[in-house]
Amino acid sequence: MGRKYQTKFPCARIKKIMQSDEDVGKIALASPILISKSLELFMQELIDKTADITRRKRGKCVQASHLKECVATEKKFDFLSQIVEDVPDKEKKPRSKKNQKDESAPKVKAANNKGSIAHIVAGPSE
């Protein structure tokens, strides 16, 4: 009777990766299942810590820079530092032009009235 274990990561692929190493001999049936569960727990903790950083920065989406910060601040993830070192740090981007106030140019509403400021600035249209 074979039991079907519910794993988040495919055990067959894990076994294939393990067998790709020439130094690995026989693989016990439970090994890919245990590795899958270990990988699941590892990923859950990494994602939870990264999500905390995202929330703390009041972000809406988890960014690669948040993951990089998580790896840098959590000692247990030090072994990932070489992988994330090329990820650019998140810089605050300037506000979009739509939301940005332009202090250099005064805003003038266009109007067809002859006595309006727009008419005075633009001059007569005739």
What is the rounded (10 degree) CA torsion for 57, 61, 63, 66? 30
Range of the domain at 52: 11-83
pLDDT value, residue 126: 46
90 domain residue, yes or no: no
- The CA distance from 51 to 62, in Å, is 6
- Neighbouring C-beta atoms of residue 66, cutoff 10 Å: 22
In this structure, what are the phi and psi dihedrals at residue 58, rounded to the nearest 5 degrees? Answer: 60, 40
DSSP 76: G
68 domain residue, yes or no: yes
**Count of structural domains, the chain:** 1
16 domain residue, yes or no: yes
Model confidence over 1-45: pLDDT tens digits?
456 778 899 999 999 999 999 998 899 999 999 999 999 999 999
Model confidence over 57-96: pLDDT tens digits?
999 999 999 999 999 999 999 999 999 999 888 766 655 6
